[in-house]
């Protein structure tokens, strides 16, 4: 499968207390654990970044699904909450995504959200396990 776009980001420093930046320099953020995890809360954390990415990705999928059906959406708002869980020293994430679709009947909104879930790259990556090549360099 050929990629139609590649985004690259580099994280430096001490992981959750470091810095992350996109290769084009458009996003450059200091990272910090939230106060709830004993951190300073003075920077962003990975869960916030994932929540923003998922919300934006799902919003795009909703727009695409609506266009396919000839539905005009007035104002779409997607809220994504990412929860960090720890069990037996293993961390995992869970997601809660809520799409507000004013002006649509409940059945139509539910159907549109179901279709968007099938075409959203973030949703399909999580549901089906996106391929990940992970390697070390020295």
Q: In the prediction, which pLDDT does 47 show?
A: 95
| Predicted local distance difference test score (pLDDT) of residue 74 | 86
Q: Are 82 and 47 spatial neighbours (Cβ–Cβ below 8 Å)?
A: yes
**Can you tell me the distance from the alpha carbon of 79 to that of 64, in angstroms, rounded to the nearest whole number?**
18
pLDDT of 15 reads: 78
CATH class of the domain defined by 45-132: alpha beta
Tell me how far apart the 2 most distant CA atoms of the chain are, in Å: 56
Q: For each of the chain's 138 residues, which pLDDT tens digit applies? A: 799 999 999 999 987 899 999 999 999 999 999 999 999 999 999 999 999 999 999 999 999 999 999 999 988 999 999 999 999 889 999 999 999 999 999 999 999 999 999 999 999 999 998 999 999 999
Assess contact for 55 and 79: CB atoms under 8 A: yes
Q: Are 97 and 54 in contact (CB under 8 A)?
A: yes
Where do the domains of the chain lie?
1-44, 45-132
pLDDT at residue 25, rounded to an integer: 96
Give CA–CA dist 12/115, Å, rounded: 38
Task: Give the contacts of 126 (CB within 8 A, at least 6 positions apart).
Answer: 95
Which of 1.25.60.10, 2.20.25.10, 3.30.70.1450, 3.90.1150.10 would CATH assign to domain 1-44? 2.20.25.10
Given this model, what pLDDT does residue 1 score?
Answer: 77
Give the residue among 8, 33, 38 at the shortest CA–CA distance from 18. Answer: 33
Crossing angle of helices 121-128/46-69, nearest 10°?
A: 110
Rounded Cα gap, residues 6 and 82, in angstroms: 24
């Amino acid at each position: 499968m050929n990629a139609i776009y590649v985004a690259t980001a580099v994280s430096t420093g001490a992981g959750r207390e470091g810095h992350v930046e996109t290769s084009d320099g458009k996003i450059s953020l200091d990272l910090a654990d939230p106060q709830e995890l004993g951190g300073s809360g003075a920077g962003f954390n990975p869960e916030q970044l994932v929540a923003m990415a998922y919300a934006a990705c799902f919003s795009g999928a909703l727009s695409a699904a609506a266009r396919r059906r000839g539905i005009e959406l007035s104002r779409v708002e997607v809220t994504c909450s990412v929860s960090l869980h720890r069990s037996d020293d293993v961390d995992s994430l869970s997601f809660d995504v809520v799409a507000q679709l004013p002006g649509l009947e409940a059945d139509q909104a539910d159907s549109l959200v179901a279709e968007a879930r099938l075409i959203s790259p973030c949703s399909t990556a999580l549901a089906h396990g996106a391929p990940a090549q992970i390697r070390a360099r020295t």
